[in-house]
């Protein structure tokens, strides 16, 4: 694997956030109880939909912060020395879609906000499908040994 | 059905609903011009309809329960049996009400409305209160907000509905609903065509406020049929005002204004709801599962008798966290502009951490 030309802590934080968001997102589906995850010592919290949901919100906010920070830095200078790989660009687009659909979900959950059920459905399924696409892309990148999003020009 | 409506639904009430333009399920904009033209009803600011149940009037005749069944019979599940065996079989059990369709003393997939009874002593008087129970149609419904598939949704006219075509039957809506209202029937729905052994377990059912009638400008079946005119439906602001006035008049109490942050179902009672909650036979709420495990088979299928105690706004934390989610990208941009990052890039090459 190539060393990434951007700070290691950014990659590590990004990977941690995406992994933790994937987990808390997946456990939004009623799986933890059915598949006995809740019976593993220390994992009982995975069965608490509200707790997992709130953690997902917090992690999502952190990823939004990181993504905005990276985007600004890209515009400010990283873009001159770095080049997005093909898979990197694809994943940036997917992560962007996930963040946007996630934000729309947060918006929809505010009291006093009622969107047309058709919009809700679109937002919901966009979020779910993009998540699956990101998983596939990450796997491909990992197998090809090109998991860095960007390389030096 | 038509006969029933004529028997009891007064023309003025039906006309009133028609004028409201409560059709167009899920339309983004309520029919404002129609509302403006209706002199009896001020235009509701949010387009939400609410119902008011005057518990001092209900005689417990059960006509509403019957009418609900009749009106919604074509929505009831017809499960395919035998159910596909699910994994892991010890934890994923089918819930089957199809042979218990006549059960009317709790909520089931075939009974979306039932009557609770509370005999209450209050201020030296004894009261016999009958309470029609069904979905509260929360203003900010967790069943809809938390559904991972978008199958449960609140409509602009203030009612919550679960789409039987999209519901996977995971019963999360029942878990997160403060009253555990939706009920599951296995052997129907989308999951049968996806991974029936691994995910899903049927479809969830509950009161949908007879959207098919509302869309036509008609009253929900349980409202139309009631011989005592226990229920009233209208724009939420008006219904709230009416509920408060009625409570004042009878020196009574309102349920649904604060509960779960506000619901579109308001109960008015001459006795405190705390006393009602103690007196009703309920098997819902905390600890219900444990009790049920030991109970008989029909009961072990799940709680279906909602409590009537205080309910905090279950989505309140999410509402607060939403601010963080909206501020986060702005903060990220600000941090970037202020210089966090440019110096970090230089540290990248030698892989050294900040
Ligand atoms: S029909 Fe009216 S009076 Fe009869 S049980 Fe229902 S709400 Fe009460
Ligand atoms: S009462 Fe329960 S099922 Fe009905 S809208 Fe509220 S959360 Fe949903
Ligand atoms: S509104 Fe319709 S579905 Fe809901 S309880 Fe009344 S009759 Fe049943």
Q: Which residue has the tokens 């020196």?
A: B251
Q: How far apart are CA B202 and CA B258, in angstroms?
A: 32
Q: Cβ–Cβ of A120/B318 closer than 8 Å?
A: no
Q: Which residue has the tokens 């030698």?
A: B350
Q: Cβ–Cβ of A61/B28 closer than 8 Å?
A: no
Q: Which of A29, A99, A109 sits opposite B145 (nearest CB)?
A: A109
Sign of CA dihedral A67, A69, A70, A76: positive
- How many percent of chain A have pLDDT more than 90? 58
What is residue B346's predicted lDDT score, i.e. its pLDDT? 52
pLDDT at B84 > cutoff 70: yes
Q: Point out the ligand nearest to the CA of residue B54.
A: 1
pLDDT at A46 > cutoff 80: yes
Q: How far apart are CA A119 and CA B153, in angstroms?
A: 11
Interface with chain A: mutation pick from B150, B204, B211, B264, highest number of A CBs within 10 Å? B150
Q: Which of A5, A28, A117 sits opposite B349 (nearest CB)?
A: A5
Q: Point out the ligand nearest to the CA of residue B68.
A: 3
What's the token pair of residue B225?
A: 């049929």
Contact, B185 vs B206, CB < 8 A? no
Contact, B149 vs B168, CB < 8 A? yes
Q: With a 6 A CB cut-off, is B14 part of the ligand 3 pocket?
A: no
Coil vs helix vs strand at B24: coil
Q: How far apart are CA A11 and CA A128, in angstroms?
A: 23
What is residue A3's predicted lDDT score, i.e. its pLDDT? 52
Coil vs helix vs strand at B51: strand
- CA distance readout (Å), B62 to A28, B70, B307, B331: 38, 13, 20, 57
Q: Which residue has the tokens 């090459």?
A: B349
pLDDT at A32 > cutoff 80: no
Which residues in chain B are closer than 8 Å to A99, comparing Cβ atoms? 329
What's the token pair of residue B97?
A: 């009400």
pLDDT tens for B238-284 read 999 999 999 999 999 999 999 999 999 999 999 999 999 999 987 75
DSSP type of residue A77 = I
pLDDT at B303 > cutoff 90: no
pLDDT tens for B218-246 read 999 999 999 999 999 999 999 999 999 99
Enclosing H/E stretch for A82? strand A82-84
Neighbours of B133 (CB within 10 A): 25
Residues in Cβ contact with A78 at an 8 Å cutoff, skipping those fewer than 6 apart: A6, A70, A150, B341, B345
Q: How far apart are CA A11 and CA A26, in angstroms?
A: 22
Ligand 1 center–CA B309 separation, angstroms? 22
pLDDT at A89 > cutoff 70: yes
Question: Strands (DSSP E) along chain B, which ranges?
Answer: 49-54, 114-122, 125-133, 152-154, 160-162, 183-185, 203-205, 231-235, 253-255, 265-269
Average pLDDT over residues A49-72: 95
The residue nearest atom 6 of ligand 3, judged by CA position, is: B222
Greatest alpha-carbon span in chain A: 51
Q: What's the complex ipTM?
A: 0.89
Q: Which of B189, B192, B141, B143 is nearest to B164 (CA)?
A: B189
Neighbours of B51 (CB within 10 A): 28
Coil vs helix vs strand at B332: helix
Across B79-93, B120-134, B331-345, the highest mean pLDDT is recorded for B120-134
């Amino acid at each position: 694997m190539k060393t990434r030309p951007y700070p290691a802590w950014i990659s590590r934080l990004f990977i941690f956030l995406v992994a933790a968001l994937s987990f808390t997102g997946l456990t939004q589906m009623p799986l933890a109880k059915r598949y006995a995850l809740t019976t593993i010592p220390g994992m009982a919290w995975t069965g608490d939909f509200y707790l997992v949901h709130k953690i997902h919100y917090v992690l999502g906010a952190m990823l939004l912060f990181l993504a905005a920070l990276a985007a600004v830095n890209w515009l400010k200078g990283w873009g001159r020395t770095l080049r997005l790989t093909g898979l990197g660009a694809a994943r940036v687009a997917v992560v962007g879609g996930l963040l946007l659909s996630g934000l729309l979900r947060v918006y929809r959950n505010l009291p006093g906000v009622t969107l047309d059920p058709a919009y809700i459905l679109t937002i919901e399924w966009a979020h779910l499908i993009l998540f699956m696409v990101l998983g596939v892309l990450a796997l491909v990148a990992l197998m090809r040994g090109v998991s860095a999003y960007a390389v030096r020009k | 059905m038509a006969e029933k409506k004529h028997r009891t639904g007064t023309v003025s009430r039906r006309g009133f609903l028609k004028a409201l333009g409560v059709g167009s399920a899920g339309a983004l904009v309520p029919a404002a011009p129609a509302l403006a033209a209706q002199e009896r009803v001020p235009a509701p600011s949010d387009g939400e309809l609410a119902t008011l149940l005057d518990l001092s009037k209900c005689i417990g005749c059960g006509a509403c329960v019957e009418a609900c069944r009749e009106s919604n019979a074509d929505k009831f599940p017809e499960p395919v049996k035998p159910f596909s065996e699910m994994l892991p079989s010890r934890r994923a059990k089918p819930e089957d009400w199809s042979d218990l369709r006549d059960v009317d003393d709790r909520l089931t997939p075939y009974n979306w409305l039932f009557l609770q009874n509370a005999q209450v002593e209050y201020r030296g008087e004894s009261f016999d209160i009958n309470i029609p129970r069904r979905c509260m149609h929360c203003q900010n419904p967790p069943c809809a907000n938390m559904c991972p598939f978008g199958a449960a949704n609140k409509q602009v006219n203030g009612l919550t509905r679960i789409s039987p075509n999209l519901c996977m039957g995971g019963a999360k809506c029942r878990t997160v609903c403060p009253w555990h209202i939706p009920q599951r029937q296995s052997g129907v729905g989308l999951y049968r065509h996806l991974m029936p052994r691994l995910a899903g377990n049927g479809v969830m059912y509950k009161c949908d406020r007879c959207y098919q009638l509302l869309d036509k400008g008609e009253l929900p079946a349980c409202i139309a049929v009631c011989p005592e005119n226990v229920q009233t439906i209208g724009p939420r602001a008006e219904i709230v005002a009416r509920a408060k006035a009625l409570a004042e008049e009878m020196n009574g109490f309102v349920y649904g204004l604060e509960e779960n942050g506000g619901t579109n179902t308001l109960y008015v009672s001459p006795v405190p709801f705390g006393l009602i909650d103690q007196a009703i036979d309920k098997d819902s709420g905390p600890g219900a599962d444990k009790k049920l495990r030991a109970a008989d088979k029909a009961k072990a299928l799940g709680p279906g008798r909602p409590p009537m105690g205080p309910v905090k706004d279950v989505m309140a934390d999410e509402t607060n966290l939403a601010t963080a989610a909206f501020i986060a990208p702005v903060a990220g941009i600000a941090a970037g502009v202020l210089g966090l990052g440019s110096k970090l890039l230089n540290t990248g090459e030698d892989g050294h951490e900040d």
